[in-house]
Structure 1
């Protein structure tokens, strides 16, 4: 009988271990939802992550920082595991309790990231991992625009033959910011008179604007088909379009513009935080980060990855603009609530 009890006990332990293993496997997430810009991730890198971990990445897209903010507001930060957040928005989302704290214990590959980018925006060091950085400028078709573009005014006061062939980014900070820069003001201005001038400039331009949505970067892009001749655009995206048409040109306007940093953040409402952090850590493996930079044509904040990039990529003046080029460029700063409300009203009157 003692032997039978021993056998029964052994079988019971084996059953318990099997059941525990099944429950653990069932508890492992099979999918993460990643809120991102379109064309901002290499599909092959996502496949590699899935092969390593068994976790698939489902991407959900937004086409402006304003749209992302509205989406997170509607959902109260729920329904997503990882999200791309622009630097100026991290403090606001963290204050609402929607972002999970991140550090080198949970993201060991943070050690590869240049500290300058981690601390560039308020609360970014605590709630974000730098993804890419870049600038804002003008993209245009050299064969459709009859002069060399040099200024924001070329876009904001387009010649008559370009009416209906220009587009703007439907983002309040970017759109109002470039109007302010065109007028010689800071893109962080809170002066009522300067903002009124910026609104007047954007209102006068509006009849010539075909769309306020960010244009696609594939072979069906309106800039490639000729439906558009000029647009606001983030610098690296130009290189994607130039793969299809050599007449695509990009310029950093002489008045300057915005320098931005995008951050990877984990949503605090996510039930899969450990897997989300694992994904972010994977993206910051130097070899992975270097491959991703070359796919999206943007400058990486990952110093170890940057050392792996080809010399011609690191010397590309569109991807890595010089200090001289950026002398009139600014980052977005924290604005008082009244100024934010004023800008939201201006944006609404123009776009909606």
Structure 2
């Protein structure tokens, strides 16, 4: 029996649609080492959309890249305090993820959060804390304060890595000194600069490249670093003597979010990528790889057993947890001056 012209046309349309999807791509820019080959392969296999990934090592670098035109990125992953900045600078597409089915599966405290109160621009990808990791084989003295980082004992001097991010460094220094985050008081910022300048002779590297930090800690090139909880867990897997600290001053918390840069070449592919990464099984794959905390409900059944008891992810009861903030223009100006002065 001959196919009708309508049936042939429908078949041709389906074939063309499949070809179009197969030709799609999504260009992602993220923190270094954020995607395992397995999760990318799974997405490409399920959707036919090819993925390319570029990386950056600070929110400030991402902001600069997007201000310069974005270089064709379809998805970016800024930290939460930078989302309002990117929105204000008109660098993000509004795609209203809060209206999508997957959004309902996010942890309740991360739905329509303060940095995106309408759920219009961002979806949490991964979250965690920032503190100190150190090698207890090199130092086993007091570890209950950030004094070990900012006023390091002799055993750790010259073996320190600090994150190459003014916001991460200043927030932690502010916690230690009891100074409000995003201070606009020049005298308070000068206190932070004095602390960081006094520490600088003991700092070997300023880097936010997670892979390099882990490798240097494992090899003994460095013995202490300001670092993220999940990344510290991955480092401990390489060197069991590493310990993640919960200082009495508290720890900073962060959420990295998936967003779509303004003028994205493939916004539909970007939406598909974000929806895929927000499914419980796929979010668990990300958590198993990165070792940070997932923002998605229902991941427990898919998690590696060791993550359920890892001290880097189990915040002790009573620990002060402080989410970093979006700073005002005066605070940003002072922070930029501080960083320029420190890096001379």
* Deviations 1:253-296, CA, capped at 9 Å, x for gaps: 21113111111111221121111110111111111112221221
* Superposed displacement of residue 223, structure 1: 0.8
* Deviations 1:174-219, CA, capped at 9 Å, x for gaps: 1111112111223333322211111100011111111111254379
**Radius of gyration: which is bigger?**
1
- 1:194 match: 188
- 2:156 match: 162
- 1:183 match: 177
SS in 2 for 1:127: coil
- 1:84 match: 77
- Aligned pairs for 1:1-352 within 5 A: 18=12, 21-22=15-16, 25-26=19-20, 29-73=23-67, 75-104=68-97, 107-123=100-116, 125-217=119-211, 221-306=215-300, 308-309=302-303, 313-325=307-319, 327=320, 329-352=321-344
SS in 2 for 1:255: coil
Q: Is the 8 A contact 2:210 2:231 kept in 1?
A: no
How far apart, in 1, do the equivalents of 2:70 and 2:11 lie? 37
Q: Is the 8 A contact 1:106 1:277 kept in 2?
A: no
- 1:7 match: none
* Superposed displacement of residue 297, structure 1: 0.9
* Superposed displacement of residue 324, structure 1: 1.1
Q: Is the 8 A contact 1:78 1:270 kept in 2?
A: no
Judged with a 3 Å threshold, the aligned counterparts in structure 2 of structure 1 residues 300 and 105 are, in CA distance, closer, same or farther, namely closer
Gaps of 5+ in 2: none
Q: Is the 8 A contact 1:36 1:59 kept in 2?
A: yes
The RMSD of aligned alpha carbons is: 2.7
Judged with a 3 Å threshold, the aligned counterparts in structure 2 of structure 1 residues 52 and 308 are, in CA distance, closer, same or farther, namely closer
How far apart, in 2, do the equivalents of 1:310 and 1:95 lie? 39
* Deviations 1:37-68, CA, capped at 9 Å, x for gaps: 12322221110111111222211111222222
Judged with a 3 Å threshold, the aligned counterparts in structure 2 of structure 1 residues 77 and 162 are, in CA distance, closer, same or farther, namely same
* Superposed displacement of residue 133, structure 1: 1.3
* Superposed displacement of residue 98, structure 1: 1.8
How many residues were matched structurally? Answer: 341
How far apart, in 1, do the equivalents of 2:214 and 2:308 lie? 29
Q: Is the 8 A contact 1:299 1:320 kept in 2?
A: no
